Amino acid sequence: MASTYPLEIVHAARWVKANPNVKGDAAVKAVENQPWDTSVKSLVAFPQILEPMNDKIDWTQKLGDAFLAQQKDVFAAVQRLRAHAKESGNLKSNEQQNVIVEQAPAGSAQTIVKIEPANPQVIYVPAYDPTVVYGAWSYPAYPPYYWPPYPAYYPGYYPGAALATGFAFGIGIAAAGAIFSDCNSCWGGGDVNINVDKAANINRNFDRSKVQGQGGRWQHDASHRQGVAYRDNATRDKFAGQSPRASTRDQYRGRGDAGNRPGTNDRAGAGNRAATADRSAGANRGASNRAGGDVNRVSSGDRRGGYSGGRDNAFNGVGTSGRTTQRNFDRGSSSMRGSGVNRPSGGGGMRGGGGFRGGRR
């Protein structure tokens, strides 16, 4: 969910870097008044997730775009990979987690593999090497992304060391309050269920009606996208119209009611002047077009020239956004890359620990 708001990920990562001693549920409480989405606020409790998401912001944006465009396919892919890990003997219950296997729901041939924290009050975030955990990779043309664990969060690991068992668990985090969503009851349907009470505890501005009106299912909020372009036209058309930012800007600039300003047509002789009338109409047309332009500017990067063609694959290509927003977005993400984190040393690219576990899933 949080990956669909990449610019807010950058803001949250900056906050964590500036407040390294505020941890777990206390960190979530400290950002209560920040204007970020609830899913982003919850991640400040897990810097070992948030930091690589920010350092690899291009990957994060691709993940979010894939989730928005093909949510059910993403969930199905997660289940396939969990099944591979389980069959390979690398995904099992231990002192950090419980692994539960359930029969496929009616109408589905896919077995459901659930992962829950062994202690609901303590969350352990794993990092793992996908080439070890999943066994032989089924898609050699698309090798898995991977980045090594960040040593600061995984005691005993050091740069260049291999994960002998494929897994590394970080220090347990007392952050049960940061978990407000649940996939366990919805794996077959491809949705995320939201606990509105927990979400409201994280975000005092949380709008319960948006979730309750959708049967408790998570809904993407375009207002938190902050101008970052969507990957494709279909996603843009689905969400871009939700954002109130364009109309808000026009009202701030005095355009919203330009056609209704008192006295415009009461000036002596103004109503009889054809040129003046035409200019007035033209001004109204311009204001209207500018308002629409501001809405569409969110996704101006979806022009054909900026889209990486090829077959329709949720994990290929990502659009660029409007010039100003994207420049700010890129500057924000690049400023966080000076953290001294070692880059992956070859082949695999990067993967964010894959599981990002927490709560019932």
Using the structure block, give the residue that is written with the tokens 């949380």. Answer: 206
pTM of the model: 0.63
Distance CA 76, CA 354 (A): 14
Q: Which carries the bigger pLDDT value, residue 73 or residue 157?
A: 73
| Chain-centre distance for alpha carbon 329 | 14
Q: Which carries the bigger pLDDT value, residue 194 or residue 13?
A: 13
The SS3 of residue 102 is strand
Q: Which pLDDT score is estimated for 303? A: 38
Distance CA 188, CA 185 (A): 8
Q: Which pLDDT score is estimated for 239? A: 84
Q: Which of 199-203, 280-284, 333-337 has the highest mean pLDDT?
A: 199-203
Q: Which carries the bigger pLDDT value, residue 284 or residue 76?
A: 76
Q: Which carries the bigger pLDDT value, residue 186 or residue 109?
A: 109
Q: Which carries the bigger pLDDT value, residue 8 or residue 206?
A: 8
Q: Which carries the bigger pLDDT value, residue 336 or residue 55?
A: 55
Answer yes or no: is pLDDT of 251 > 90.
Answer: no
Closest C-alpha among 101, 95, 87 to residue 126: 95
Q: Which carries the bigger pLDDT value, residue 156 or residue 153?
A: 153
Averaged over 237-255, what is the pLDDT? 54
Q: Which pLDDT score is estimated for 139? A: 85
Residues with Cβ < 8 Å from 205, sequence gap 6 or more? Answer: 35
Averaged over 178-196, what is the pLDDT? 60
Extract the tokens encoding 273: 């002047």
| Domain map (residue ranges) of the chain | 2-242+312-339, 245-297
Averaged over 147-175, what is the pLDDT? 76
Which tens digit of pLDDT belongs to each residue from 70-114?
988 988 899 999 999 999 999 999 999 999 998 877 767 678 899
Q: Among 18-32, 123-137, 333-347, which stretch is predicted with the lowest mean pLDDT?
A: 333-347
Q: Is the distance from CB of 298 to CB of 240 less than 8 angstroms? A: yes
Q: Which pLDDT score is estimated for 170? A: 82
Residues with Cβ < 8 Å from 49, sequence gap 6 or more? Answer: 43, 125, 352, 353, 356
Distance CA 84, CA 128 (A): 14
Q: Which pLDDT score is estimated for 200? A: 57
End-to-end CA distance of the chain: 14
- The rounded mean pLDDT for the chain is 70
Q: Which carries the bigger pLDDT value, residue 211 or residue 293?
A: 211
Residues with Cβ < 8 Å from 161, sequence gap 6 or more? Answer: 148
What is the CA angle 154-158-159, rounded to 5? 120
Q: Which pLDDT score is estimated for 71? A: 87
Closest C-alpha among 38, 43, 37, 34 to residue 13: 43
Q: Which pLDDT score is estimated for 147? A: 83
Q: Which pLDDT score is estimated for 204? A: 58
pLDDT band at 171; cut points 50, 70, 90: confident
pLDDT band at 328; cut points 50, 70, 90: low
Q: pLDDT > 90: what percent of the chain?
A: 26
Q: Which pLDDT score is estimated for 291? A: 40
Q: Which pLDDT score is estimated for 311? A: 39
Averaged over 110-128, what is the pLDDT? 88
pLDDT band at 347; cut points 50, 70, 90: very low
Q: Which carries the bigger pLDDT value, residue 179 or residue 25?
A: 25
Averaged over 218-233, what is the pLDDT? 89
Distance CA 163, CA 128 (A): 7
Q: Is the distance from CB of 78 to CB of 355 less than 8 angstroms? A: no
Residues with Cβ < 8 Å from 334, sequence gap 6 or more? Answer: none
